Amino acid sequence: EAGVTQSPTHLIKTRGQQATLRCSPISGHTSVYWYQQALGLGLQFLLWYDEGEERNRGNFPPRFSGRQFPNYSSELNVNALELEDSALYLCASSWTLGTGSSYGYTFGSGTRLTVV
Amino acid sequence: SQQGEEDPQALSIQEGENATMNCSYKTSINNLQWYRQNSGRGLVHLILIRSNEREKHSGRLRVTLDTSKKSSSLLITASRAADTASYFCATATNTGNQFYFGTGTSLTVIP
């Protein structure tokens, strides 16, 4: 069974540009979660998608957005990049709403975004 | 914030010794989980303990949960150099699917 895959592995962008990060969940998982991990810090919850809808978002500005496609893969978009957006962005997937919290997440290896 | 906090922030031990790290959280939870992260990559799920459980074992891992104190501990027995990683606790509430992660404990096991 393939794990959670994220692309690209590394991304370098200039301040003010837009970044698009992609995530494919484990087959059968309908929930996708995005987390930001700045250097040396814990994971900050960004977004949760389930069945194509945004279910919850963390305390991040609107320039962080995303979507979930019919095949349950997901995109995270960061507009108007700022230097402090440099971080490891982790995607995780789980079973569907209502049952996901009873199981562990399966994480991808992350996308390291560097804003220069 | 619903995030937990791990303690200590960093821990260095000799191979073969036991490592204990603690997690405190703020709100009522459905379950608590521990994850390991190697070298800033993806997290690996280690163990889950439900709110009605007090202790759980998995191989060399032992997790305890005290809901009255809103705290949990992770014990790694007979540590190995390969256990060197950051360890995070994550809490799941009864109202949502997303987990809230702590700040992590960086464990170094010296061969």
Question: How close is the nearest chain B Cα to the Cα of A59, in Å?
Answer: 10
Q: Determine whether the interchain pair A56/B96 forms a contact, defined as Cβ–Cβ distance below 8 Å.
A: yes
List of chain B residues whose C-beta atoms are within 8 Å of the C-beta of residue A55: 96-98
Q: Kindly report the average pLDDT of chain A as a whole number.
A: 90
Residue B67's pLDDT band (boundaries 50, 70, 90)? very high
Q: Catalogue the long-range contacts made by B70-74 (C-beta closer than 8 Å, 24 or more residues apart).
A: B70/B24, B70/B25, B70/B26, B71/B22, B71/B23, B71/B24, B71/B25, B72/B22, B72/B23, B72/B25, B72/B32, B72/B34, B73/B20, B73/B21, B73/B22, B73/B23, B74/B20, B74/B21, B74/B22, B74/B23, B74/B34, B74/B46, B74/B47
Beta bridge partners of B21: B74
Residue B70 confidence (pLDDT) above 70: yes
**Residues A55-92: tens digit of each pLDDT:** 889 999 999 999 999 999 999 999 999 999 999 999 99
Q: Which residue of B lies nearest to A34 if distances are taken between CA atoms? A: B98
Q: Determine whether the interchain pair A42/B43 forms a contact, defined as Cβ–Cβ distance below 8 Å.
A: no
Pairs of CB atoms within 8 A across A/B: 74
Residue A99's pLDDT band (boundaries 50, 70, 90)? very low
pLDDT at site A66: 96
**Residues B10-26: tens digit of each pLDDT:** 999 999 999 999 999 98
Residue B3's pLDDT band (boundaries 50, 70, 90)? low
**Residues A20-60: tens digit of each pLDDT:** 999 999 998 889 999 999 987 788 999 999 889 998 899 99
List of chain B residues whose C-beta atoms are within 8 Å of the C-beta of residue A88: 40
Nearest to A42 among B33, B97, B101 (CB): B101
